[in-house]
Structure 1
């Protein structure tokens, strides 16, 4: 499948695919005219890469984990497993921080609503939320 088709089916830019290839995260073969051709599973691979990027993993970390995804073995599983645990722990801390920030924002919003209601009752012209 050509690069444009992979990009369209995976919902990414052609530039992203070229970057993934430069980083060793995605492979293609070349036609005699130099066009990139990707295997059918390239779309799934790109979607996996996108999920890992969204989770906050760097290209370097993803490259460390991919051997375990591609061909799990005793040689690469232990290191990749430890790295996955580290990344999961990092994400858990980040999620906890985000939840705390959301809870703080909820309290500020509630206080603002209360204030707006009080102002409306006092006839100050504020509209209740």
Structure 2
């Protein structure tokens, strides 16, 4: 199938597919005329890429983890045991970012409150 058909089936833009290809996440075949040629397997690959990106992973991490991911019927799961530790590390990193954002939000709330109090004088 051509890139437009894959984009429709996978629910992404052709631009996203070209980006995934550029990052080495997706490797289409080529027709004799040089056009990209995707298979049904690419639809599943794009679905997996989207899940991993939605989980907060960057494309370098997705590239590294994608070959070891399996579908357990309900979720995408790491098929290689060492990936569990990688996902746990990533979750801790996100938890740290959430805590930092909470602190930033609290500081901003204080500034807003002080500004309102100053304006009310």
Partner of 1:102: 105
Structure of greater Rg: 1
Q: Deviations over 1:50-96 (max 9, x none)?
A: 425xx2x3332222221232479xxx612211111111111110111
1:44 to 41, 44, 47: 47
Q: 1:6 to 1:112 in 2, by over 3 A?
A: farther
Provide the alpha-carbon RMSD of the alignment: 2.7
Identify, as 1 or 2, the structure richer in strand.
2
**Match of residue 75 from structure 2:** none
Query: What is the match of residue 115 of structure 2?
Result: 112
Deviations 1:28-62 (A, max 9, x none): 2222222113333355245335425xx2x333222
Pairing 1:31-70 to 2, within 5 Å after superposition = 31-38=31-38, 39=40, 40-41=43-44, 43-52=46-55, 55=56, 57-70=57-70
Give the match for residue 23 of structure 1. 23
Q: 1:65–1:42: structure 2 CA closer, same or farther, 3 Å change rule?
A: closer
Structure 2 CA distance for aligned equivalents of residues 82 and 97 of structure 1: 23
Give how far 1:97 is off. Answer: 0.6
User: Gaps spanning 5+ residues in structure 2: where?
Assistant: 73-78
Q: Is the alpha carbon distance of 1:24 and 1:43 closer, same or farther for their aligned partners in structure 2, counting shifts above 3 Å?
A: closer
Q: TM-score, normalised by structure 2?
A: 0.70
Give me the TM-score of the superposition, normalised by structure 1.
Answer: 0.66
Cα 1:71–1:49 change in 2 (3 A) is closer
